[in-house]
Amino acid sequence: MVYEPNYKKDYIALNIIDTTEQVSEKNNEDLEENTKSETINGKHEWFAPKRWLGDREIDWAFSQTLKPSNYHILPAHQFHYAKEASHTAEAQAYLALPELLAELNSKYDLVFIPVNNPDFHWSLLVYETKSQTFYHYDTLNGANYEYVKPLVKDILLAKEVPASEWEQHLIPQHQISQGNSYDCGIAVIEIAKKIMERYQGDLANLNLGNFNFTQARSNWRQRWERQNSQQIAQIQQNYPKK
C-alpha cells in the first residue's frame, strides 16, 4: 500500500465530474469548479497543447499503457512526497521512504518513477533491480538531476550500496530533448513506454530512437476525449461557455 499525504484530493484520478463524491462535502464546491475549468475552459484541459501536465494526467496515461508484469510504475506523486515528507509534521511521514523502498523489490525488472519538481519540471527515474541502478531520463538537459540525487542516495544506502559507490548507481540519461518548455510530462510517459517496448536486459545501452512529443500529446488528448465523451458533453451542457 502506498501512503497518501493529507492533500490526497490533489492526487485523485480525475473521473470528470464525479470525483466530488470521493472527498469531503466541504471540498465539493472547489473540486467542482476545478473540474469544470480542467475540462471546459481550455486553460487547464487535459493534454491540451502547450500545457504542463499534472500528476493525474500522468497517472491516467500510465493506467492506459500496456505494462508487462515484470515492470512496475509508481504513482506520479510518490517520489516527491517521499522527498518532502521529512520536512513535514505529518504523523506518518516517516513511512514515506520505507514504502518507496518496498516498491523497488526484485520481483520487477524495472521500476518507473515519475519525478515531479513542483512548478518546474518532470523527469523520469528508472530503477533496474538486478544492477541496483537508477537511470535518470531528463529532457531539459538534466534540470532535475540535483533534485533527485539526495533521495536516490538515501535509497541506495538503505539498499546497502557502499557510500563510496552510490553515485555510480545513478546514471544520467539527458540526451533526449523536449524542444520546448512544456512537454516534460509527455516525455516521461513516452520514454517509459518505449523502454517497456525495447528493454532486453541492458538499460545502459538501450537505444530509444526518436520521439515526437507534439504528436504524442495530440494522441493522448484524443484518447482521453474518446473515453470521456459522454461526461464532457454533460459538463458542457451544465456549464456552457460564456
pLDDT tens track for 139-157: 999 999 999 999 999 999 9
Helix (H, G, I), strand (E, B) or coil at 65: coil
Domain 8-238 belongs in CATH node 3.40.395.10: yes
Interatomic CA distance for residues 50 and 82, integer angstroms: 29
**Could you tell me how far CA 77 lies from the centroid of its own chain?**
7
pLDDT score at 228: 80
- Please tell me the predicted confidence (pLDDT) of residue 185: 96
Q: Give dist(CA 144, CA 18) in Å, integer.
A: 35
The pLDDT assigned to 219 comes to: 96
Q: Which residue has the cell 522527498?
A: 83
Element (H, E) at 198: helix 184-198
User: How many Å apart are CA 148 and CA 100, to the nearest integer?
Assistant: 14
pLDDT at 206: 95
Report the distance separating Cα 162 and Cα 122, nearest Å. Answer: 29
Burial of 164 (0-12, 13-18, 19+ CB in 10 A): exposed
Q: E-strand spans in 13-97?
A: 71-73
The whole-number pLDDT of residue 3 equals: 29
Task: List the chain residues with pLDDT less than 70.
Answer: 1-44, 86-94, 230-242
**pTM exceeding the 0.75 threshold for the entire prediction:** yes
DSSP tag of 203: G
The Cα–Cα gap between 222 and 235 comes to 18
C-alpha cell read off for 108 = 520487477
The reported pLDDT for the residue numbered 240 is: 59
Say what the pLDDT of residue 98 is: 86
Give the pLDDT of residue 83: 87
Q: Can you tell me the distance from the alpha carbon of 220 to that of 106, in angstroms, rounded to the nearest whole number?
A: 31
Residues 185/58, Cβ–Cβ less than 8 Å: yes
CA–CA gap between residue 70 and residue 107 (Å, rounded): 7
DSSP-derived 3-state class of residue 185: helix
The one-character DSSP state at 135 is E
